[in-house]
Copies of this chain bind each other. A is one copy, B any other.
């Protein structure tokens, strides 16, 4: 009868201590978004599959979690499809109308189009919600995880890029994580493709050179040849991939190499404007140009942004860029946008690895009143009420059990103060207050308790 319970693979429970730490991250990101005038929205966990399908490539379609129709889900299915060896996409769409959101970007685009008449452009929104992917679970990769996105749509000014980079700098500076921000621009990539005489191979080039960090320049060259690039084109590409020096030097070198491609020059100019804008405002983060940065996603049309932690070996912890046709697929073309997405789960791993949580990131009350009987706990409940009215988290041990057991609870919960009201204290109108860290205790008048613990 009794089952041994478990949770689906790739999902997690979060304990009180883990929640306190996660909330510290979410609160930090939310506060910085708010300071920059971004406004929060939320969208439903379930979207129509017609909204989600075809937006993440063929692989993405497979990784969507699909929700079985309610009621008689067999009614509109095709018997031939049902009796096939393998389920077809058509059968799946007969069985399921809805799916769980895969990211926050497509639901945001859907939101903008549906609410176009209420929205004031430019629209600066942020969104912090979980997403679901039927990926094979592995270390650091989950089937349910949070994204924290900020986007501006309806403005193509580079001021937006500058502010998003400031937000990245501010969030990681508040969290105490040292980072490098890598920048690139899709127009630079287009310029490169044009320069080497393979403008139609832009996607092949970006996909291949995106791997330069992982597999090295020589393997990238092999891959580019396999993807049909001529020897001549590959040789023209090499000097660009080998650009070195300071950020300014690299921008200059790139500018010279791309001088004959107007789109490439435009890309370098945008990079320069963003870099100089950010630098004039002051940045803690290290800023890098990385012409191999493409972030796989082919919807970026301008600036591309990626953030790496300097002190922990982990994938990118934030990314983003400019896109020019996010809402086109939903019938609203020509809306430019730029956005970033903080990877809360990886940031959580980085903070854990570096042990960077502030001291007060715990889930504990400030004080617990031990329970020594009915009359005593009545007074404790009143004292606790008084403390809470002053914003001090207080609890009363509910059961009149052995003091040792109650102290063990206080200790395990890491509650900093234990308040004892027994017979003596009842008579004298005091409370014995034990400082759990220092180990000492003192008698405090009930009326002074709020001041003592504030």
Query: Which residues of A does B touch, CB under 8 Å?
Result: 1-8, 11-16, 19-20, 23, 34-37, 39-48, 50-51, 62-63, 65-68, 70, 72-74, 79, 82-87, 92, 95-98, 100, 110-111, 113-115, 118, 120, 122, 124-125, 130, 132, 134, 143-144, 152, 155-157, 159-160, 162-163, 166, 170, 277, 280-282, 328-331, 363-365, 368, 371, 377-378, 381-382, 385, 388, 391-396, 398-400, 409, 412-413
Contacts and interface: CB of A to CB of B under 8 A. Distances in A.
A100 to B, nearest CB: 8
Given A98-B8, A377-B159, A378-B277, A44 B330 contact: no
Contact of A86 (B39, B74, B87, B157): B74
Copies of this chain in its oligomeric complex: 2
Nearest to A136: B70
Given A2-B328, A155-B399, A396-B159, A65 B62 contact: no
A363 B40 contact: yes
9 contacts: A11-B46, A13-B42, A19-B39, A35-B394, A45-B132, A62-B70, A68-B92, A68-B95, A122-B399
Contact of A159 (B16, B43, B100, B371): B371
B44 A11 contact: yes
Contact of A37 (B281, B282, B394): B394
A87 B74 contact: yes
A16 B393 contact: no
B331 A13 contact: no
* Nearest 4 A/B pairs, CB to CB: A37-B395, A2-B331, A16-B39, A11-B44
